[in-house]
Amino acid sequence: MATSAHIALYATLVALGPSVALAHPADEARPRAMDDEILAPPPTYKANGVTVDEHTGAQVPLDVAFKTSDGKATTLGDVLHGDVPTILTFNYSDCPMLCSLQLNGLSKVLPDLGFQLGGQFRIVTIDLEPDDPKVARLRDRYVAKLPEAQRAGWTYLTGDAASIRRVAESVGFKYVYVEERAEWAHPAALIFLSTKGTVTRYVYGIEYAPAIMQESIFKAGLSESSTAVGFMNRCYHFDPEASSHARAGVLALRLGAAGFLVLLVTGFGVMHVVRRNKRAPGDA
Residue 38 covered by a domain: yes
Residues 53 and 88 in one domain: yes
| pLDDT value at residue 261 | 67
**Helix axes of 2-22 and 240-283: crossing angle, nearest 10 degrees:** 170
Residue 58 covered by a domain: yes
Residues 61 and 165 in one domain: yes
Residues 54 and 192 in one domain: yes
* Mean pLDDT (whole number) for 212-233: 92
The amino acid that residue 21 corresponds to is A
- pLDDT tens-digit series, residues 48-70: 568 789 999 999 999 999 999 99
Last residue of a domain, one of 193, 209, 234: 234
Residue 29 covered by a domain: no
Specify the number of domains making up the chain.
2
| pLDDT value at residue 34 | 37
Residues 58 and 110 in one domain: yes
| pLDDT value at residue 232 | 67
Q: Which element (helix H / strand E) includes 214?
A: helix 210-221
Q: What are 144-151's contacts with CB under 8 Å, separation 24+?
A: 145/107, 146/107, 146/110, 146/117, 149/118, 150/110, 150/116, 150/117, 150/118, 151/118
Residues 259 and 124 in one domain: no
122-127 and 86-91 as β-strands: parallel, antiparallel, unpaired? parallel
| CATH code, domain with 96 | 3.40.30.10
Of the candidates 83, 71, 284, 113, the one whose C-alpha atom is nearest the C-alpha of residue 193 is 83
> pLDDT: is 249 or 11 the higher one?
249
* Mean pLDDT (whole number) for 257-276: 66
Residues 61 and 164 in one domain: yes
| pLDDT value at residue 265 | 66
Residues 90 and 194 in one domain: yes
* Mean pLDDT (whole number) for 28-41: 40
Residues 196 and 248 in one domain: no
Residue 263 covered by a domain: yes
- State what percent of residues in the chain have pLDDT above 90: 59
Residues 225 and 275 in one domain: no
- pLDDT tens-digit series, residues 182-204: 899 999 999 999 999 999 999 99
- State what percent of residues in the chain have pLDDT above 70: 65
Q: How far apart are CA 82 and CA 87, in angstroms?
A: 14
Residues 40 and 176 in one domain: yes
Residue 142 covered by a domain: yes
Residue 69 covered by a domain: yes
pTM of model > 0.75: no
Residues 183 and 272 in one domain: no
Of the candidates 177, 178, 101, 81, the one whose C-alpha atom is nearest the C-alpha of residue 141 is 101
Residue 16 covered by a domain: yes
Residues 255 and 165 in one domain: no
pLDDT confidence tier of residue 96, bands split at 50, 70 and 90: confident
Residues spanned by the domain of 145: 34-234
